[in-house]
Amino acid sequence: NEKARVIRRTVLRYVNLTFAITMSMISPPIKKRFPTMDHLVEMGLLTEQEHMIFQILNAKTSYSKYWMPLIWAGALVSKARKEGRIRDDFAVKTIMDELNNFRRGCGRLLSYDSISVPLVYTQVVTLSVYTFFVATIVGRQFLDPSQNYDGNTVDLYIPWFTILQFFFYMGWLKVAESLINPFGEDDDDFEINALIDRNIVVSYLIVDEMHEDHPELIKDMYFEEVVPAALPYTVATEHYRTLPSQGSTANLQIPEHQQEILDPIQEEGEEGEVETVTGGITTVGSTPIKTVPSDLKTVASTPMKYVASDVEKIGSVPPTPRRRRSFIGGLVSRISSAASRKVSGARAKSSTSVGERRRLRATSAAASRAALAQENLINTVSETDENGKTS
């Protein structure tokens, strides 16, 4: 109805008014277009009553009041909800969030304007560039060739490098000057006036002319195909046709022998429950502690006092000297004793927590790896030379 239309148009007018007030505070072209609040009244963005409210508030404080129209817009949204013109609270929240985001963006623009590049920076850069080229005009000249000074010969009549320096430094200086205020009057600055005009027209068009107005619901031309293969290309754009994008591993081929899935290994959980994991560690209990190749003895299934002798028997090398054998045997014996104590404690504490069992399994695995390392050490120490002596 007519009142709903007025509410919609007023909310959008308040949003555009906020943007115009904000930009008039930071952009010289907008300030020239809206020098005072009276100009906003004449151009239809502000009413006389609203102007009086601004004047009353300006008499109380001199702080900027760009946010005031958004407060009015929020009040209109709340009023429309109470009158039932907005169906649910979620829609009200969505509108309020967008108003707050717009206010936040305007406040950020004002913050950028208030904290600008220090004036001394621009003064130093400008003075340095101009002083450099004034000194260059004198310093880059040759001495009088007719005087025949030693070491003074004119070999370059056109100062090419000095000309390049002039264009580079002066060009960078002009770019820096234009970037000081992107909302100024330079050719490359933002066209804020055109943006304000566009926002006014489009916002009123959306909430008034196009409100609840849509074309007739009909089937599209690809309705029978369900999914079209692709939209047609013109002759001029045929070379832009490409295949669908894929990941970087699309052409990566994995060998078949590496695609085999490893069998999971079961581990005991809580009181007889069995957990399935992937790896070489199994339960500390009735099953082996760690599975190793078949040609080696496991630490858990062999008595600890025989580990040293079993390790010495691996291979066909001659026995090592007594001194080295006693050293290696003692080292293996100590490792085996430590592993035996860990395994015995693990078997005795079958009701321990899962964390305790995992630590014990890790210790047993370390003992097995140590035994395997001792085997490699024995093989290295027991190598013999041609005379049969220990290497």
Query: In order along the chain (391 residues), what is the average pLDDT of each group of 10 residues?
Result: 91 97 95 94 94 94 93 96 93 96 96 85 91 88 74 74 91 88 88 95 89 82 84 91 86 90 66 47 44 43 45 45 50 62 55 61 77 72 50 43
Evaluated on CA atoms 349, 350, 352, 358, the torsion sign reads positive
Q: Is residue 103 part of a domain?
A: yes
- Is the pTM higher than 0.85? no
The answer on 289 and 214 residing in a single domain is no
Question: CA angle, corner 206, sides to 204 and 207, nearest 5?
Answer: 70
The answer on 194 and 312 residing in a single domain is no
* Whole-number Å distance between alpha carbons of 88 and 77: 12
* 143 CB-near residues (< 8 Å, 6+ apart): 149, 152
Q: Is residue 102 part of a domain?
A: yes
Last residue of a domain, one of 234, 255, 270: 234
User: Could you give the number of structural domains in the chain?
Assistant: 2
Neighbours of 358 (CB within 10 A): 13
Q: Is residue 135 part of a domain?
A: no
**Strand-pair partners of 277:** 265
Q: What is the pLDDT of residue 216?
A: 86
Token output for 76: 């209109």
Contact 275, 266 (CB under 8 A): yes
Provide the b/e sequence for 176-215 (b: ≥16 CB within 10 Å): eeeeebebbeeeebeebeeebeeebeebbeebeeeeeeee
The answer on 325 and 206 residing in a single domain is no
* Whole-number Å distance between alpha carbons of 138 and 77: 71
Q: Is residue 144 part of a domain?
A: no
The answer on 204 and 79 residing in a single domain is yes
Last residue of a domain, one of 234, 250, 266: 234
| Alpha helix stretches (DSSP H) within the chain | 2-24, 28-33, 37-42, 48-60, 68-82, 89-114, 119-139, 160-179, 192-204, 307-313, 322-348, 354-381
Q: What is the pLDDT of residue 279?
A: 43
Q: What is the pLDDT of residue 50?
A: 95
Q: What is the pLDDT of residue 70?
A: 97
Q: Is residue 22 part of a domain?
A: yes
Q: Is residue 91 part of a domain?
A: yes
Which amino acid would we find at residue 41? V
Q: Is residue 239 part of a domain?
A: no
The answer on 16 and 78 residing in a single domain is yes
Which amino acid would we find at residue 298? T
* Whole-number Å distance between alpha carbons of 267 and 289: 10
Last residue of a domain, one of 215, 234, 253: 234
The answer on 212 and 292 residing in a single domain is no
The answer on 312 and 208 residing in a single domain is no
Neighbours of 40 (CB within 10 A): 21
Instruction: Identify the domain containing residue 224 by its residue range.
Output: 1-116+181-234
Which amino acid would we find at residue 216? E
Q: What is the pLDDT of residue 304?
A: 45
DSSP letter for each residue of 265-301 = EEEE-STT-EEEESSSB--SSSS-SB---TTS--TTT
The answer on 225 and 99 residing in a single domain is yes
Q: Is residue 141 part of a domain?
A: no
The answer on 346 and 200 residing in a single domain is no
* Whole-number Å distance between alpha carbons of 194 and 23: 12
Distances (CA, A) of 128 to 22, 120, 133, 162, 236: 35, 12, 9, 16, 52
The answer on 196 and 98 residing in a single domain is yes
The answer on 230 and 287 residing in a single domain is no
